[in-house]
Each structure stands twice: as C-alpha cells, then as structure tokens.
Amino acid sequence: MFDWLKLLLLPGDVPTVTQSIVAIMLAIGTGVFFGRLKLGKISFGVSAVMFTGLILGHFGYRIQPGILDFIRDFGLILFVYGIGLQVGPSFFSSFRNEGLKFNILAVSTVLLGGIITIGLFYLTDLKIEDLVGIMSGSVTNTPGLGAAKNTIEEITNSFPDKKFGDPTIGYAITYPLGVFGIIATIIVSKLLLKINPEEEMKKFRLAKINRELPLVHKKVRITNPEYFGKTLHQTIKDFGREIVISRLKHSGSKVVKSPTMDIQLQDRDVLMLVGLEKDVDDFTAIVGRPSSDLFIESEKQIMKKNIFVTNAKVIHKKLSELDLYNTYDLKVTRVFRAGREILPRPSLELFYGDKLRVIGSEDAIEEVEKIIGNSEKKLLEPDFLSLFGGLLLGVILGSIPIVIPSLPVPIKLGFAAGPLIVALLISRYGGIAFIHSYINNGATYFMKDFGICLFFAAVGIHAGDGFYDNFIQYNGWMWLLYGCAITFIPLILMVIIGRFIMKINFLQLVGIMSGSYTDPAALSFSTNYLDSDIPIQTYAQVYPLVTIFRIFVASLLILIFS
C-alpha cells in the first residue's frame, strides 16, 4: 500500500528527478537540525549538512549527475555572491585601517598551505587533484574545491583521454579535521597565551576609539568677536576641515533655522554642528564654547527625518547635483550606508538603499521624499532583475578564459571567484546600470545560507558514495596526517606571528583564523566561546581576498602539476 512512499523516501540505484530532490531535502533538513545542536559551546550550523550528506550518500542515496552538477554550482554561486554583497563595503574600507595587515597575514597563510601541498606532492605518490582535495578539506574551503573541479572539467574537455582523481574524496575525508582543527587551535592558544577575553575587549575598544572617528553632533555658542559678522562660508573655509552646520538660533530668539552659507554670525548665536568629534571640538574651541541651549533641538520650526534612496532617477547622482538646500531649503546632515555613517560631502554619490538624515520644514521634507523615493516597502521587496543580473555578470566573468603561457588550458576564475568579484565591485560602487548592491539583510542571509546548503548537500551525497571504501582504499589515516600538516602548521605560525610580531588583539586574531580557513563553524564557536562579536568583523575583512587566493591556488596547482 505504501510502496510509493518507500520508493520516494528510500535510496535507489538509479534515482529519478523526484528521488534526487528528496535526497537533497533530506540532507539539508537533517543537517540544519543537527547543526543547531550544541556540544558544549560548539555548534556546526549549516556545515552539518556536509556530514548528513556524507551519511546519506554512504547508505545509498544518490542524485542524478545533471541535477548534482547544477545544484552544486548554483549553490556555490549564490553563496559567494551573497558573501560579496555582505562584506564588500567593509572589505574595501578596512584597507584604510588594519585591513591591509590582516589580509597580508591571512593570504600568507593561504600561500603557506599551498607550499605545504606542493611539498607533499613531491614527498608522496599522491596525485595533485587528491592533494588539492585534501588541502581544501583541511582548510574547510568550499570555493577552492569548486574551482578545482571546474579546472579538472576544463582540462578533461581539452584532453579527453586524461584521467583524474576526484578531489571531493580528499575533501570529504579531511573536512571534519579542518573544522575541529581550527576550534582546537583556538582553545589551546587561548589557554597557552592565558587570554582574558574581557581584557582583550577593553584593549580593542580603546584601540577603536583611537583609530575610528565616528560622526557626532554638538552645540556651540559663538563668543569669539573675530567671527561676529563673518559668513558661515568664510568661517568654515578658514577652519579648513569638513563640518556640517545643520541648525542656527540667534541669541534671545526661539526661532531655529537651517542656515544658508551666506548668513552672518552674531554674538551668542547657537549652532548645531555635525562632523568628526575632533573637528567639532576644535571648531568649538576656535569660535566659542559648548552650549547647553535646548531650543535649538526643537522640532517646531524644522524637523529631522530619515529618507531612503529608492527612486532610480537619483541613484548615482551627487548631492551637489540634487542641490536640495537651495531648491527645497533642506539640509542633509548624514548618510548611512551598509552600517557606515558618512559625512554628506557635495561630491558624495547616492546609492540605492542609502539612508539620508535631513533637516528642514515638514513641507520641504515631503517634497524631497517624492524625489528621493523613501519607499521602505520597496526595499523589502527582492529586486530579482538586479539580483540575477549581478549573478549573470559573475558567471560571465568567471567563464572568461585567461591564457597563461606554459599552462595546458586557459585559467578561469570559475563559479566561485567570478560572482564574488562582481559582488564586491557592485557593493563598492553601488551598482552597474540597473544592477544595484542593495539587498536587505534577511534576503542576503537567506541567499548565502541556502546556497551553501545546496552545495554541501550535493558534495556530501556524492562524496558519501563509497566513502568508507575510499577511506580504506586510499589509506584515509595517512590522508588525515597530510591534512594535519596543512591545517596546523599555518595556524600555529599565524598565532605566533599575529600575536607576538604584529601585536594583533586575540579576539581579532581568532576572526582572522576562521576567515583564513573560511570556516563558519569555527567562527560561530569563537563568538560563543569568547562571548564576543569582534571575530565576525575581522572574519569579514579577510574572507573575500582569502577566498579569491584559495580559488587561484587550487586552480593553479591542478593546472601546473597535473
């Protein structure tokens, strides 16, 4: 009676399309469930899908080859594109601070792993594709595995008679080692270095205060006679630094206005300043003293409001082109973009999804809303034209053949690096034509996690087919030993160099460790273990460049040594 249900849910030798879909759903569903369970402070998150896929593959579940390739590649594309959009803005801006130092350390770790892999190639009788699989699993790098498989397919298309091993086998054998190896290194290094997370947090906050300069707003009363009768334009010009004066109130008056640049300052005028804290304090010391006037904060004459950029006609236009003050008597005091607060310079170009903080009359704000858009509902709706346009550009970029002399076939960025680079550039420059960078956080997280779940399910089920036999046939214990060298040697050197030579805060160093091995499970563990979100910030700073380098290293090793 229930033969149809057994046929649907139980594994078969020649799976149908429906059975293939069921296998994928089982791997993802059970993987997500077990990924939420905690062993102490350790939880694997979506990484557990890889393990449930291995188990299902071992017990006979299969996916049709065509469906397997599509699910694996499409999942990888979604994952890396979502990562690129998520971390792109902070990735580029971080290079102005500590990002360069962090990325040098992380990329050096990647290159060292590649050198160790080359050494193992000459010291053992393993094929390079097996070693690249071991390397990718040992550092839990999914895009690197995808790039290796794409490169092997390209070579096979050009040289049909050449036979390759499957790097997925080495990846599946050493992947658990990579996950637990990073976690073990974090625990041991914390104990040996006698790290106190609370002390590290205090040091981090102190360094951040000294390094980062957030925008502030303060009130100042004009008391310096040198500035009586001077225009705001001349005063700011003489000061020589960028600062915004959002409000002005004359002494003895309750009228608050958004001042024009040609207005003349009077004795005991009160100004509302917006800018970097040091600039605001220096300006206050020059023209007068801090004010405690409360009337200037009144919303009776002028009000403040946040307006979202959603109208396509103003995207990529500069604030100077919109000229909101002279046209609508409205002043922009701040711009919020991708979690950053930006001073509204006239040359600032607006991106889709930017949030402008404006000050002006109620009527003026209503008029400007019609121009800027301010449709929060529109921001919540997924823009599939923009999303799939960006994905298409990523696939095209990843498919461009790059001819390098002496290599058997042209190298390609592939489905991992192509979409990642496009996403980084789109998030940096706000978009290309109708393709923009804004996707709300919920959609980005869904795309990223859904993509990696599809990839893990496909790779896990495929690798699980004959996993035990492969482990015995290929002497899996030796492969794990080789994986240990690739996992632990770069990690140990990273801790020593990062902590004692580069003097990196341990909370940040843990994020670099997780990011260098592109390991979300280790990142999740570290945030719980250290009770801090700081590792997430440095993870995001190094992840894009590390991913690109791991893709290139995996591809080049296959091309050069195969």
Contacts of 525 by beta carbon, 8 Å cutoff, 6+ apart? 41, 42, 43, 183, 186
Rounded-to-integer distance, Cα 248 and Cα 226, Å: 18
Buried b (16+ CB within 10 A) or exposed e, 350-362: bbbbbbbbbbbbe
The predicted-structure confidence for 473-508, as pLDDT tens digits, reads as follows 778 889 989 999 999 999 999 999 999 998 888 988
Instruction: Answer whether 463's CB lies under 8 Å from 168's CB.
Output: yes
Q: What pLDDT is attached to residue 43? A: 66
List pLDDT tens digits, range 413-440: 777 778 888 888 888 777 777 787 777 7
The pLDDT value recorded for residue 209 is: 56
pLDDT of residue 4: 73
Output the average pLDDT for the chain.
82
Q: Return the amino acid letter for 47.
A: S
Kindly provide the b/e burial profile for residues 291-315, where b requires at least 16 CB atoms within 10 angstroms of the residue's own CB. bebeebeeeebbebbebbbbbeebb
> Which stretches of the chain score pLDDT less than 70?
1-2, 40-43, 89-90, 94, 96, 207-214, 299-301, 325-329, 338-339, 406-409, 520-521, 524
Reported as half-sphere exposure (CB side, CA atoms, 13 A), residue 503 has a value of: 3
pLDDT at res. 545: 84
357 in helix, strand or coil? strand
Residue 242 tokens read as 């960028």
Q: Are 50 and 90 a contacting pair, CB within 8 Å?
A: no
- Give pLDDT, residue 486: 93
**pLDDT value, residue 320:** 81
- Reported in sequence order, the residue ranges of 190-330 that DSSP labels E, i.e. its strands, are 215-222, 244-249, 270-276, 288-290, 303-308
The pTM for the full model equals: 0.73
> Tens of pLDDT along 85-104?
877 766 777 676 778 889 89
